[in-house]
Structure 1
Amino acid sequence: MRNWKRKSVARNPFRRFEVTDYQKESLKFLKPPEDITVSEWADKYRVLDVKSSAMPGPWRTEHTPYLKGIMDEFNNYETEEIIYVKPTQVGGTECLQNMVGYIIQQDPAPTMIVYPTDKLAESISENRLQPMIKAAPGLKKRYFENDSTRLELQFDGMYLTLAGSNSPSSLASKAIKYLFLDEVDKYPGASKKEADPISLARERTKTFHNKKIFITSTPTLREGHIWKALEDADIEKHYFVPCPHCGEYIELKMKQIQFPKGEGMSYADRAEFATYVCQECGCIITDKDKSDVLRLGEWRVVKENTKFARKVAFWMNTLYSPFVRFSAIAKEFLESHEDPERLQNFANSWLAEPWEDTKLKTNAELVLERQTECEEFIVPEWTKVLTAGVDVQENCLYWSIRAWGDYFTSQNIAHGQAYSFQEVERIMNLSYQMADSTSMVVALALIDSGNDTDRVYDFCANNSEWALPSKGSSNDMLTHYKLSKVNKADSKAYGMNLVLVDTGKYKDMIAGRMHKDNGSGSWMVYKNCDMEYAEQVTAEHKVNVRNGKGVAKLVWKQKTAHADNHYLDCEVYAFCAADILGVRTMHLNNINDDVANIVKSEDNQHFPEEQWIKNHENWNI
């Protein structure tokens, strides 16, 4: 038998295993996402398109280094909510879009972006988001353009919904993991039928334990959405940069920008000499230094409410912008500081601060400065009439009684809380005395009928000698008040006068007279007036608010969301009651009396020729 020998086949250890194209595509789905942060993703993959960017080309975080800390907070698994309070044009929108791009490529999941209006959402989709997606190859290949609409973009493994805050139905239909809320201070508030849009949108994230919410806006008022979010944050961070001279880390603040007083110089000329003075060493920091100090800057905690932070807030102003010179900031301030509307825009859009300043700004300390030597319940000797205002709340009634003299000179003689209408009736019918024991009673009280309307109507009908129902007007009026009629047929007060009050006009008068020194024409309070009253009377300030058409209008708003202003409402109604009683022209009665006395005095004087005529008045008979 033949002895067969098996040939040994030499194996080539360097022979490559050939992989088909099909296998290559299949293996891509098994590849885990890159372990990179949002800022690293943006530097590697983000491309700025010509259509929407002034600096088209690859994204470079180094151009706006302060955005790095905000973007990378998105990768902190402990953080659920990121709040970014910013001025205009510092890259807030780009920061948001980088996070969205990261989600599409690294962690696909249902995502929603809410803008102030549907129209704005459509515009941003068409002009910013879709160009961004198409410009970045990693995003473009995941984008299903044919299956998408302007307000819902479809991707491999996820969808991106764009919604307007003015459309509640679009905020309450889908479960989402990632929520972005842009320019929240332009959102409408809650209505009688729906909660506010931010609350509606938040509800969509409940089913995800690892959700992320990003809120950003330029602030408007202290009670605006973004400032309330900042105040409620667990941690607040500000950006600190090193001084190029002393090396100390400082926060850039408007008060450190200095420019010459320059008598005879224009605002533009003065601004050109503007420089930043380090608050630590007093050395000058110029625009040339800005790029270097920004690059070395870092976010530092300035407020910490808890060690277990879930809500992290970032705040910065325009001084940090690499695109805005210190001189431009100084020029904007100089040109706006005498114009309340422009100054509000400067505070909001440049300093990223809520607007509070006003020519009619009031505070509790100012009220306490208006104390007189009259004790509580004592009527000043110059008083000619007493009026009162009552603000009706669900659990109590606030009341205030004010004495009035010539030229709207006034003083609060008493105020407090009552817990029944019977108690109010007793207080209003008491006799209040002057120092010489002269007694006076309340001549007219206006009772707020906005709450518990039926009971107020019945109360006023039963006390019609001194009480009238009143209601603040929701619209501006040509006059300070207007008399209407109670038209509720089944009410005791049917046909009774109802006072419609332009509350804004009376708040203007109160604030203006509050600034006058005690004396004629001043708005005053009794000796040892309490702080609660002083704070409530000054709980509002006058600020610019824009309507849906973008038109700014000065209106009275509460300084903080939950500030009590009941005594202010009482004083408004007391002021209106004085107006109804004719206090505005009361001083003219003195002039008429003086004229009458002069005439009477002249009648008693007889000149010689008058006496002769009197003696001979019948001479021709």
Structure 2
Amino acid sequence: MDGEGMNTLLASEVIERTARRAVKPRIFEPVWKWAERNVRLSVRTTNTPGQYDSGWIAYTRGWQEAFSNPRVKEIAICAAAQTGKTESILNCIRYAIAEDPGPMMWIMPAESLARSFSETRLQPSLKDCPPCAEQITEDPDAFKLLEMHFKDCTLNLVGANSPAQLSSRPVRYLFADEIDKFPEARAKEAGALELAKVRTTSFWNAKTILTSTPTVESGQIWQAYLNGTRHKYFVRCPHCQHEQELLFPQVRWPKDERTKPGAEWNVDAVERLAYYECPACRHHIEQNWRHAMIRGGCWKATNPNAPADRVSFHLNALYSPWRTWGSIAREFLEVKDSPSGLQNFTNSVLAEAWKPVQGEAVSEAQLLDLRADYPLGTCPAKPHFITLAADVQRDCVYFTVRAWGQDEESWLVDYGKLPTLESLNEIMAREYNIAGTDERMKPIKGMIDSGYNTQAVYEFCSASRGRIHPAKGWEKLAQPVKQATVDFVPGGRGGMARHIALFHFDDCAFKVELYIRRIKDRQGPRWHIPFNIGPDFIQQVTAEKMVERKNYRGVPEQVWHRSHKDNHLGDCEKIQLVQGYLLASELRKPATPPLAPESTAPQGQHNIWQTAPTRGGWVGGWK
């Protein structure tokens, strides 16, 4: 048979299959019911293999039923991590492929994530589902990681960091995962989510599913949740039948010698003894009641003004079968005093938007209240170690030096302005007196903001052989600090590329930690300055305040505004907190004299400063 005849046959098969599907009676049923009949989970993709059962995560039935509802166009799921939402969304994809096909797109924050997800989870789950496996063609080239051609539809996976891919094809089903990590609008182009949504406009029966843990109030998932029905999951108290949403303030634990024998919480005891208290009858609800409560629960819309075709859901980790109420209480106690720890708990566990405190700049009086009885150039107590932080400008370099003690307590021992980057070597070699002793110590680690004159910073840090690292702040980051490896060519062009560890950090989170918590509210680890601190330091550390502005979508958001042109010493102190974050585990150990970088640790002694300059970076060098 010639090629033309083959094409005619293939076309006729497609027409015949489409016609059969069109006249076949449609039986609409919730996705979760279809999945319980057709989906079998494999050990390749889950730690709970076997026939899919929605009963133990009954709350996922809500958005699966919404997907089956032809009147619903957009579903937004604002949920905590590890709540079973991904598997339930996979049910929606499997259902669409087998029962109601149409072109589909799954978007993740980056293409690398999409590729890994497809290989390890999506494709195995489709092959393990008989109705979907029947739709896979025999041509292996048609079933690629990022583009899967089925008999009746196509599924593409793309990264939100690829605008061309987002705007290249029309889709009926749009699945957007972790949308708060998507790139937002820029001067020349709309945001990733807006670009993708436009692709659905040519389908009258299009559906969009948005999922993410929230970040801030102006974040995309929180706004999608607020603009929808705002469904919340209600359960009944086993003692009084009071209907309620599970909320973290109702998680309680005894406050006695068992849980707090001294100044610190015994987190093991808290995790073991925590319970949920009904706000109506005050009875203790033990953990073993939760499964029955969730199975008998129901979703209730709380926004009567929402469009009927826009459904949104909110779910925190108190419902998750993978978390106990005690483990959540423990996590709260462990992170509440760490930089951005409370924000991460609020986002990833409570599934709530973080609300930074808006207010005036730190006052001089508030900063001066942190003065301690020691002079500049002296450590008032023997520290674990001393660190340097620097901020590079066009014609100078600002720096601060901090001594770190037990439990992240720190003292400013030096600061100033230098003519060149190379001048920092003098500071790294400078020895500081330890009050009451004959001992002297010098900085043993350092970090430089690489936002300006990046090439020079990379070259200088590389020459330090692991003692000093570059750092770069970002407006939004999924975690407080993220280590990466960057390549650079000494001199700018030609020659062999070198590798260096670069630390990305959440700029807003560490500013809140420094200006609001440490200085203004005096919370968290103690943060000291010397009694003879200079007016230049005071002026620069009080130069920023948080203000409210509207973003490009007209949504209010809180940003840091500089009220004085020079805030460089404040930026140095912020970078010091980044170092404190990285050193936190070491700062909870009893103080011991740090070893010099050139020394060899005696057998059996742990030298945290033996770092490899091109691999492992800061944290990896401890191991």
2:294 maps to a residue whose letter is: L
Q: Which residue of 2 aligns with 1:209?
A: 204
Aligned to 1:250: 244
Local SS of the residue matching 1:128 = helix
User: Is the CA contact 2:172–2:205 (under 8 Å) kept in the aligned structure 1?
Assistant: yes
Question: Post-superposition shift, 1:506?
Answer: 9.4
Residue in structure 1 matched with residue 81 of structure 2 by the alignment:
88
Q: TM-score, normalised by structure 2?
A: 0.57
CA–CA distance in 1 between the matches of 2:260 and 2:569?
49
**Equivalence for 1:339:** 338
Q: 1:507–1:572: 8 Å Cα contact kept in structure 2?
A: no
Give the residue type in structure 1 aligned to 2:564.
V
Identity of aligned residues (%): 32
Question: What do the CA deviations read for 1:97-126 (whole angstroms, capped 9, x no partner)?
Answer: 011011011111111110111111111111
Provide the residue aligned with 2:173 in structure 1.
Answer: 178
Contact 1:241 1:250 in 2 (8 A): yes
CA distance in 1, matches of 2:59, 2:210: 17
**Residues 119-162 of structure 1: CA distance to partner in whole angstroms, max 9, x if unpaired?**
11111111111111111111101112522211111112110111
Mapped partners of 1:223, 1:138: distance in 2:
41
Change (3 A) 1:514 1:274: closer
**Structure 1's 561 and 537: CA in aligned 2 closer, same or farther, altered over 3 A?**
farther
Please list, as runs of the form range in 1=range in 2, the aligned pairs for 1:253-402 lying within 5 A after superposition: 253-261=247-255, 262-264=259-261, 266-306=266-306, 308-356=307-355, 362-364=357-359
Mapped partners of 1:285, 1:577: distance in 2? 51
1:230 aligns with 2:238: no
Instruction: Supply the distance in 2 between the matched residues of 1:509 and 1:318 (Cα, whole angstroms).
Output: 29
Q: Does 1:149 align with 2:140?
A: no
Q: 1:422-443 CA deviation, whole Å, 9 max, x = no partner?
A: xxxxxxxxxxxxxxxxxxxxxx
Please state if 1:111 is matched with 2:119. no
Deviates more, 1:271-280 or 1:215-224: 215-224
Corresponding residue for 1:160?
A: 155
Give 1:539's aligned residue. Answer: 547
Partners of 1:564 and 1:273 lie apart in 2 by 38
Contact kept? 1:145, 1:154, Cα under 8 Å: no
Cα distance change on mapping 1:127 and 1:574 into 2, 3 Å? closer
Question: Matches of 2:345 and 2:515 in 1, distance apart?
Answer: 28
- Which position in structure 2 is the counterpart of 1:8? none
Q: Which residue of 2 aligns with 1:571?
A: 563
Residue 70 of structure 2 is aligned to residue 77 of structure 1: yes
- Closer, same or farther: CA 266–177 of 1 in aligned 2, 3 Å: same
- Residue 428 of structure 1 is matched in structure 2 by none
Equivalent AA in structure 2 for residue 179 of structure 1: L
- Match for 1:539: what amino acid? V
Would the aligned equivalents of 2:172 and 2:203 in 1 still touch at CA under 8 Å?
Answer: yes
Closer/same/farther in 2, CA of residues 177 and 405 from structure 1, 3 Å limit: closer
Distance 2:569 2:275 in 1: 54
Corresponding letter in the other structure for 1:272:
R
What amino acid does structure 1 have at the position aligned with 2:282?
A: G
Cα shift at 1:325: 1.6
Q: Structure 1 residues 192 and 210 mapped into 2: Cα distance closer, same or farther (>3 Å)?
A: same
Aligned to 2:49: 56
C-alpha spacing 1:481/1:104, structure 2 compared with 1 (3 Å): farther
Q: Which secondary structure does the structure 1 equivalent of 2:331 belong to? A: helix
Return the alpha-carbon distance in structure 1 between the equivalents of residues 228 and 125 of structure 2: 33
Q: How far is 1:34 from its partner?
A: 3.0
Runs of 4+ in 1 over 6 A off after TM superposition: 24-28, 404-409, 479-484, 502-510, 574-578
Give me the whole-angstrom Cα distance separating, in 1, the residues matched to 2:337 and 2:298: 35
Are 2:189 and 1:197 equivalent residues in the alignment?
A: no
* SS of equivalent to 1:235: coil
* Displacement after TM superposition at 1:194 (Å): 2.7
Establish whether residue 45 from structure 1 lines up as the match of residue 38 from structure 2: yes
Secondary structure of the corresponding residue to residue 260 of structure 1: coil
**Secondary structure of residue in 1 paired with 2:180:** helix
Shift of 1:573: 3.6
Deviations 1:243-300 (A, max 9, x none): 1011111110111111122331621112211000001111111111111110110011
Counterpart for residue 213 of structure 2: 218
Structure 2 CA distance for partners of 1:32 and 1:356, relative to 1, 3 Å: same
| Aligned equivalent of 2:589 | none
**Residue type of the alignment partner of 1:88:** A
Q: The residue matched to 1:216 in structure 2 has which SS?
A: strand
Q: C-alpha distance in 2, partners of 1:329/1:237?
A: 23
Residue pair 2:366, 2:520 contacting (<8 A) in 1 also: no
Task: Look up the SS of the partner of 1:241 in the other structure.
Answer: strand
- Count of matched residue pairs: 403
Q: In the alignment, residue 571 of structure 1 is paired with which amino acid?
A: S
Q: What secondary structure, in the 3-state scheme, does the structure 1 residue paired with 2:279 have?
A: coil
* 1:144–1:153 contact (8 Å) kept in structure 2: no
Equivalent position SS for 1:179: strand
Q: Report the Cα distance in structure 2 between the residues aligned to 1:340 and 1:292, rounded to whole angstroms.
A: 37
For the 8 Å contact 2:79–2:316, the answer to whether it is kept is: yes
Q: Larger deviation: 178-187 or 28-37?
A: 28-37
2: distance between equivalents of 1:191 and 1:481? Answer: 37
- Deviation of 1:225 after TM superposition, in Å, equals 1.9
Q: Please report how far the alpha carbon of residue 322 of structure 1 lies from its aligned counterpart in structure 2 after TM superposition.
A: 2.1
The alpha-carbon distance between structure 1 residues 509 and 166, as it changes in their structure 2 partners (threshold 3 A), is closer
Under a length normalisation based on structure 1, what TM-score does the superposition of the two structures give?
0.58
Report the Cα distance in structure 1 between the residues aligned to 2:285 and 2:393, rounded to whole angstroms: 53
- The verdict on how the C-alpha distance between 1:162 and 1:510 changes in structure 2, with shifts beyond 3 A counting, is closer
Instruction: Spell out the pairing of 1:402-413 with structure 2 (5 A cutoff).
Output: none
1:241 aligned to 230, 235, 241, which one?
Answer: 235
Structure 1 residues 513 and 340, CA gap change in structure 2 (3 angstroms): closer
Per-residue deviation, residues 355-400 of structure 1 (Å, max 9, x unmatched): 346xxxx444x78x99xxxxxxxxxxxxxxxxxxxxxxxxxxxxxx
The code of the aligned residue for 1:271 comes to E
2:217–2:557 CA contact under 8 A, matched in 1:
no
Instruction: Return the index of the structure with the highest Cα Rg.
Output: 1
Take 1:91 and 1:117, find their aligned partners in 2: how far apart are those partners? 21
Q: Provide the secondary structure at the position in 2 that maps to 1:327.
A: helix
Q: CA deviation at 1:78?
A: 2.4
CA drift of 1:338 comes to 1.9
Amino acid of the structure 1 residue aligned with 2:237: C
Unaligned runs of 5+ in 2: 1-15, 370-391, 401-414, 420-451, 454-472, 474-506, 523-530, 533-543, 571-623
SS in 1 for 2:321: coil
| Aligned partner of residue 309 in structure 1, secondary structure | coil
Q: Which runs of 5+ in 1 are unaligned?
A: 1-23, 371-403, 410-470, 485-498, 522-535, 542-556, 579-621
Q: C-alpha offsets along residues 300-337 of structure 1, whole Å, 9 cap, x if unaligned?
A: 1223334x422211001110112322111112112222
Counterpart for residue 450 of structure 1: none
Letter in 1 for 2:351: A
Check 1:26–1:118 CA distance in 2 against 1; reply closer, same or farther (3 A cut).
Answer: closer
